[in-house]
Structure 1
Amino acid sequence: MQATIATLGYVLSPGGGEVLMVRRDTRPDDLHYGKYNGLGGKLEPDEDVVSGLRREIHEEAGIECTDVELAGTISWPGFGRGGANWFGFVFRVPAWTGTPLTGNDEGSLHWVPVADVLAGRVPMWESDRHFLPLVFAEKPEVFHGVMPFSNGKALSWSFTTL
């Protein structure tokens, strides 16, 4: 399978009770318009995944990641425009320096209570609710999942942990 390789990072507040998320609200033609999401994006051809995550978070939030933890990986066949396949490395970012921006080209940045994210009180991809409990677990385990999409909807979710 050929896929776009990407990173997705969840920057945690110093106490861990909030997560920095982008509300995709700048471009109405955006596939993610109106939804909240973690930070990240496509890897450059010469980057490893951690360098790509750090670059994306610096570009999107203006902060430097000083600690990152791999939460897991997800294969999203059929997720992108025209049914493109995506493969993502999902991270927690428990430590960082700097002052987060209030927004970027994709949208406004918000500190959102993790409890609200997990309870479904934040507009996001419905499918994110399957893997976010693994990302924010009290005792997280690295997971590897697959979530096939068709016509913008997740068809299923399965994962294994290490």
Structure 2
Amino acid sequence: MPYTPILATLGYVLSPDRSRVLLIERNARPDDAHYGKYNGLGGKLHRDEDVVAGLRRELREEAGIDCEQVQLAGTVSWPGFGALGAEDWFGFIFVIERFSGVVRAACAEGELRWVPLEGVLALPLWEGDRHFLPLVFARPLRVFHGVMPYRDGRPLSWTCSLLDAGGAEAPVVPRAPRLSPGE
């Protein structure tokens, strides 16, 4: 059976000193599947846009900012993630290291907050985010491509491949998730 997931972007905007990340606290709509959780900014791709154009549109809509430096951190396939496990999602994960504009205080989904990197994993997140967020903020960045099947709103497993700067596959070293600036 063909895999036809919903395509989406997820962007993590860093402060100029790389010590904080802009997250959205999804607290505006109690019927939101993400209600009460912190997440990066982004959303579903439109039919006529590429992933970078989709990311740029979402950041303008949600935060009022324009990307000036965008880097692909990786991709994650989330089979069974959506409403009642009936949807599959495929996300393109980006790090935004430079932007212009003034960050809004809130958007239709919730409040925008600058969070210290070392405090991100202590926030209410989707459980699976704890597996890939350390890869997003690691330096040097190694692009990752992961699969995280979900059932009943929880991840069943996490597997990923890492690529080094030259495109060669890098070993995945299992470790407890943690974040610190410049890690």
- State the TM-score, normalized to the length of structure 2: 0.86
1:120-135 alignment, distance < 5 Å: 120-135=121-136
Shift of residue 110, structure 1, vs aligned partner? 0.2
Q: Helix, strand or coil for the counterpart of 1:159?
A: strand
Other-structure match for 1:67: 69
SS at match of 2:36: coil
Say which of 115, 122, 125 aligns to 1:112: 115
Partner Cα distance (2:84, 2:118) in 1? 34
Query: For residues 32 and 100 of structure 2, what CA distance do their matches in structure 1 show?
Result: 29
Instruction: List alignment gaps of at least 5 residues for structure 2.
Output: 164-183
Runs of 4+ in structure 1 deviating by more than 6 angstroms, as ranges, are none
1:85 pairs with 88, 93, 111, which one?
A: 88
Tell me by how many angstroms 1:140 deviates. Answer: 1.3
CA-CA distance at 1:138 after TM superposition: 2.1
The alignment's TM-score, normalised by the length of structure 1, stands at 0.97
Larger Rg: 2
Show the counterpart of 1:101. Answer: 104
Q: Which digits, 9 at most, give the CA deviation of each residue in 1:70-104, with x for residues without a partner?
A: 00000000000132000000000000001000000
Q: Residue by residue, what CA displacement relative to the aligned partner does 1:1-40 show, whole Å, maximum 9, x if unpaired?
A: 1100000000000111100000000111111111000000
Read off the aligned partner of 2:20 and give its amino acid letter.
Answer: E
Name the residue aligned to 1:20. Answer: 22
Which residue in the other structure is 2:142 paired with? 141
Question: Whole-Å Cα distance in 2 between the matches of residues 28 and 155 of structure 1?
Answer: 26
AA paired with 1:143? F
The one-letter amino acid of 2:147's match is V
